[in-house]
Amino acid sequence: MKASRKQTAAALALTLLLVTGINLNLFAQPNPISNVTNNEYALDNLKSGINSENSGVRKSSIYLAGKYRVAEVVTCLVERLGKEDEPSVRLLIAYSLYEIKDSEGMKAVKELSLNDNDIKVKKISFNLYDEYLNNSNSTAAL
């Protein structure tokens, strides 16, 4: 009898913790990206990160620029694309430029698909550029 009461109490406590945790997550208010980029140093910090010598910082900054479609850093990404030695980072830049969908950035992705020395980079950047063209044409037709 005592064991079942302990089990019931433990199950009830676990249920309360789960319900409380779920309710707290439901009411969380994430900051929109405009709140972040309105900070006077946000874009400068992102550009510094894109050009960082630290590989992890550089990759994270490039990823975040694409994820949040920060169009203000397209020129910085295009410049970094010309300087980047690592094929995986060139692909990450191409993907971020694809996500931002800026014409200047997509021209750089096209050039990457034509002129890069790494065959994987050429193929994937070609596919990104092709997908961009197909989506722009179908959107324009609507």
pLDDT tens-digit readout, 86-128: 999 999 999 999 999 999 999 999 999 999 999 999 999 999 9
Position 9 scores a pLDDT of: 66
Does pTM top 0.95 for this prediction?
no
pLDDT tens-digit readout, 7-61: 776 666 666 555 555 554 444 444 555 665 677 788 899 999 999 999 999 999 9
Answer yes or no: do 47 and 67 share one domain: yes
Answer yes or no: do 14 and 36 share one domain: no
DSSP single-letter state for residue 72: G
Answer yes or no: do 41 and 25 share one domain: no
| HEC-encoded secondary structure of 32-44 | CHHHHHCCCCHHH
**Among 28-32, 66-70, 127-131, which stretch is predicted with the lowest mean pLDDT?**
28-32
Domain housing 106: 31-141
- Report d(CA 47, CA 45) in Å as an integer: 5
Amino acid at 123: K
Answer yes or no: do 35 and 91 share one domain: yes
Answer yes or no: do 61 and 15 share one domain: no
Answer yes or no: do 128 and 67 share one domain: yes
Contacts of 110 (CB under 8 A, 6+ apart): 125, 129
Query: Quick count: other Cβ atoms within 10 Å of Cβ 71?
Result: 13
Answer yes or no: do 58 and 4 share one domain: no
Answer yes or no: do 38 and 72 share one domain: yes
pLDDT range class, residue 134, cuts 50, 70, 90: very high
Domain count for the chain, please give it. 2
- Report d(CA 113, CA 118) in Å as an integer: 10
